[in-house]
Amino acid sequence: MKKSFKLSAATDLRLFSKLDRSDVHQYERSNGRKVAWLMSVLTVAGQKGGSGKSTLVRNLAIHFALDGYRVGIVDADLIQQHSTEFFADRGREGGREVWVARTDVPKLTIKVWDRSVAKIPEARIVLAPQADQDSIGEIIQALTDALDVVICDLQGSASVAMIHAIHYADLVLIPVQPSNDDLKSCHSTAKHVIHAGKSARRTIAYRVVFSRASTGFKPEVERVVEEALESAGLPRLKTPVFERTAFKRASFSRIAPIFDDPEGGAAKNISAVYAEIRSILAGVTHAIAEGG
């Protein structure tokens, strides 16, 4: 049965309501008018390698896409391309590297944006590999014009690309593992976000994401890191990402926990992380405007 909804009452239809994006497409078609959406750009950054950025990017992209949003993934890790690799196969064509999108991801269409063509492909997940510091701004801009959510995966180091991606972000996520090295890098990344906000004369929302947390008894190192984040006043996602074998397994199988074991701990964990991020985005994005 078709859901009914009142656009005028919506503060942020895109992120706040329970509606699937396809309901809105249907509304647009049947009413002959377009709903103007506000884009969300999520930047997953951190100067520490291996903190769980790409794992978060891949899983969040899938959760947004399954919820009906059209998602762009900007892969700015020029060396590893871990987000792209998860959704596409690497090949060579006429001496240059090409990515071929996977067709075996359940329920989702995936396409790679060949940037020699201006048009962004139609798909639930659009991949933009090899986003370097010179092109990343234009790539984010182009994807935000065409899609609903753009997620940027950065290299584990401070970079010009990272600063650009922070400037475009509605929300920056900084994964931090329970270690002192991670803690220091996290402080530094948070400072970049704050300074980027000052230079852009706006507040750029950010959250530290406690990454690879223990599922059982909380070890002392985790309590120390939590207290340090608290006393430094760094805002944190309430839901941590737990250390789960399912995330590692997915790095081999390329089957995300939500497909591999939807009732398992990893899938439930990412669903909770996703729900929290959505509600933060609903708070930081503005009311939608309805085009007439």
Residues lying near ligand ATP in the complex (CB under 6 A): 49-55, 77, 80, 82, 156, 212, 241-244, 247-248, 251
* Residue 82 within binding range of Mg ion, rule CB under 5 A: yes
Task: Evaluate whether 144 touches 150 at the Cβ level (below 8 Å).
Answer: yes
Ordered strands of the 125-128 beta sheet? 110-112, 125-128, 71-75, 149-153, 40-44, 171-176, 205-213, 241-242
Q: How far is the CB of 242 from ligand ATP (least distance, A)?
A: 6
* CA atoms of 239 and 110, how far apart (whole Å): 28
Q: How far is the CB of 80 from ligand ATP (least distance, A)?
A: 5
The nearer residue to ligand ATP, 53 or 192, going by C-beta atoms, is 53
Q: How far is the CB of 84 from ligand ATP (least distance, A)?
A: 12
Q: How far is the CB of 179 from Mg ion (least distance, A)?
A: 17
148 binds, among Mg ion, ligand ATP, none (CB under 5 to 8 A by kind): none
Q: Which two tokens stand for residue 172?
A: 């920056």
Q: How many CB atoms lie within 10 A of CB 23?
A: 17
Q: How far is the CB of 172 from ligand ATP (least distance, A)?
A: 14
* CA atoms of 181 and 160, how far apart (whole Å): 22
Contacting range for Mg ion; rule: CB under 5 A; set: 77-85, 118-126, 233-241, 249-257: 77-85
* Residue 53 within binding range of Mg ion, rule CB under 5 A: yes
* CA atoms of 55 and 60, how far apart (whole Å): 9
The nearer residue to ligand ATP, 13 or 258, going by C-beta atoms, is 258
50 binds, among Mg ion, ligand ATP, none (CB under 5 to 8 A by kind): ligand ATP
By beta-carbon distance, which residue lies closest to ligand ATP? 156
Residue 166: phi, psi to the nearest 5?
A: -70, -40
52 binds, among ligand ATP, Mg ion, none (CB under 5 to 8 A by kind): ligand ATP
- Please, what is the end-to-end C-alpha distance for the chain in angstroms? 26
Among 40, 43, 51, 54, binds Mg ion (CB under 5 A): 54
* CA atoms of 288 and 28, how far apart (whole Å): 15
The nearer residue to ligand ATP, 66 or 162, going by C-beta atoms, is 162
Task: Evaluate whether 35 touches 24 at the Cβ level (below 8 Å).
Answer: yes
Q: How far is the CB of 82 from Mg ion (least distance, A)?
A: 5
The candidate with the shortest Cα–Cα distance to 76, out of 13, 167, 159, 3, is: 159
What residue ranges bind Mg ion (CB under 5 A)?
53-54, 82
